[in-house]
Amino acid sequence: MEADKQKDEIFVRDCPIRNILSRISDKWSILVIFTLEQTAVMRFGELQRAIPDISQKMLTVTLRTLEQDGIVNRRVYAQIPPKVEYSLTSRGQSLLPRLNALIDWAKEQMDAIMEDRARSGQKASATSIIQYE
Amino acid sequence: MEADKQKDEIFVRDCPIRNILSRISDKWSILVIFTLEQTAVMRFGELQRAIPDISQKMLTVTLRTLEQDGIVNRRVYAQIPPKVEYSLTSRGQSLLPRLNALIDWAKEQMDAIMEDRARSGQKASATSIIQYE
DNA sequence: CTGAATCCATGACGATACTG
DNA sequence: CAGTATCGTCATGGATTCAG
């Protein structure tokens, strides 16, 4: 009734799986989370240097979303020049083991998948930012 | 040297995490995987009925990708009308525990996240396709 | 029944410039 | 230093149509 002009923005299907996956499966969230795992507390500029490919905009957006989801803390110091520190919340830390389980699986399967995909014309240069032991 | 006209399509950063996440974090893959977990072998039409929101195109694309990654099997019966059955491969099944760990976490945190997000104007109708016990 | 092919809307993302 | 604002590009995915 109230949805005459525009479509209903409420979609019937949004299950927990999709909700959580959409939160961490964007382009940069995982990378930020793992970067913060290695260095518990980081300033904005540090994160940017640790993840060279990310733009300021996307780093900001990613951090804001992670903050909204209670995965990272954002601590602002009232000083000039500004100083803002980011760190994982306990919820963010509780996510790590699960994420690691998934990534371990990924590493196990990666070679095989790459071979399977070879004839599909898949690129794979392996310079990764985060070191996996 | 060979990249004069066009940009290099090879991006320096593609780490295993991103590679695997990008494979399962599209809109439908997870849903298909979990649907196939519940009913081991399903025909195309069954999958479509089990996931009402998905379009034929996206179901096809999703299944093709999952097949390329060795996560689902595709079995074609040479008959008219066509009959195609999909099922999880062993690799697909090995993914499930990890995925479940993540989803358990998601369920645990979901309520809290929703409350945190309330003031951000987040929609959340909870009619999910897959039942979580 | 199981797709393939096409067109198109949306939103994610990147580059750049500007600011307290 | 840590953002915000704006704009352009491109991939994702939905609707529709055609086909074996």
Extract long-range pairs of A117-126: CB within 8 Å, 24+ residues apart.
Answer: A117/B68, A117/B69, A120/B68, A123/B9, A123/B10, A123/B14, A124/B14, A124/B19, A125/B10, A125/B11, A125/B12, A125/B14, A126/B14, A126/B15
- CB–CB of B20 and A110 under 8 A? yes
A64 touches chain B (CB under 8 A): no
Answer with the residue of higher pLDDT: B30 or A133: B30
Q: How far does CA A48 lie from the centroid of its chain? A: 14
Among the partner-chain residues B12, B19, B113, the one whose CB lies closest to the CB of A110 is: B19
d(CA A124, CA B16): 10
Q: What is the CB neighbour count within 10 angstroms for residue B83?
A: 13
Which nucleotide lies closest to B85 by the C1' atom and the CA atom? C2
Give the model confidence (pLDDT) of B78-92 as tens digits.
999 999 999 999 999
pLDDT at B127 (0 to 100):
32
Is the predicted pLDDT of residue A126 greater than 60, yes or no? no
DSSP single-letter state for residue A120:
G
Provide mean pLDDT across the span A77-92: 96
User: How high is the pLDDT of residue B23?
Assistant: 80
Interatomic CA distance for residues A120 and A104, integer angstroms: 24
What average pLDDT does the structure give for chain B?
Answer: 77
Note whether B112 contacts A: Cβ–Cβ < 8 A.
Answer: yes
Can you tell me whether residue B128 is helix, strand or coil?
coil
Whether residue A31 is predicted with pLDDT greater than 60 in this model: the reply is: yes
Neighbours of A59 (CB within 10 A): 18
Which residues in chain B have their CB less than 8 angstroms from residue A15's CB?
31, 128-130, 132
A129, pLDDT greater than 60: no
Residues 90-129 of A with CB under 7 A from strand D: none
Taking the Cβ of residue A3 and every Cβ of chain B, the question of whether any pair is shorter than 8 Å is answered with no
Secondary element (H or E) of residue B104: helix B90-117
Q: Which of B68, B94, B126 sits opposite A105 (nearest CB)?
A: B94
Q: What domains are defined for chain A?
A: 2-128 (1.10.10.10)
pLDDT band at A13 (very low <50, low <70, confident <90, very high): very low
What is the rounded average pLDDT of the residues A19-29? 82
Residue B36 pLDDT level (bands cut at 50, 70, 90)? very high
CB B58 under 7 Å to nucleic chain C:
no
